[in-house]
Amino acid sequence: GIQVEQSPPDLILQEGANSTLRCNFSDSVNNLQWFHQNPWGQLINLFYIPSGTKQNGRLSATTVATERYSLLYISSSQTTDSGVYFCAVEQGFKTIFGAGTRLFVKA
């Protein structure tokens, strides 16, 4: 089946720093989403981005479907950005999550 790999697995940032999270997938997909799982376990929908670039405040994402990767950019990080960031891809009616990037932002 399709493999979804995220990097880095762990990331520690000083508040105000920028970062890039990567998601590679091994086969063509219908859709791709980025989620933030906050410390309370909630999965928050960040971007629905099967291709192209989108921005939402300090966050932006780019998916290059032909090269099978997506990037999530976090600028001017804040302590509230801490948590786990998941990439999830859809093939048909099945959704596969990556293992996530665990981010900790220090004050």
Q: Which spans of this chain sit near another protein (rule: CB under 8 A)? A: 31, 33, 35, 41-43, 45, 47-48, 86, 88, 92-100
Q: How far is the CB of 31 from another protein (least distance, A)?
A: 7
Q: How far is the CB of 63 from another protein (least distance, A)?
A: 12
CA-nearest of 81, 100, 102, 104 to 23 is: 100
CA-nearest of 73, 68, 100 to 87 is: 100
CA-nearest of 54, 61, 69, 48 to 19 is: 61
15 vs 94, which CB is nearer to another protein? 94
> Coil, helix or strand for 62?
strand
45 vs 76, which CB is nearer to another protein? 45
- Provide the Cα torsion 27, 53, 39, 82; round to 10°: 120
Q: How far is the CB of 39 from another protein (least distance, A)?
A: 13
Q: Point out which residues pair with 32 in neighbouring strands.
A: 89
25 vs 47, which CB is nearer to another protein? 47
Q: How far is the CB of 103 from another protein (least distance, A)?
A: 15
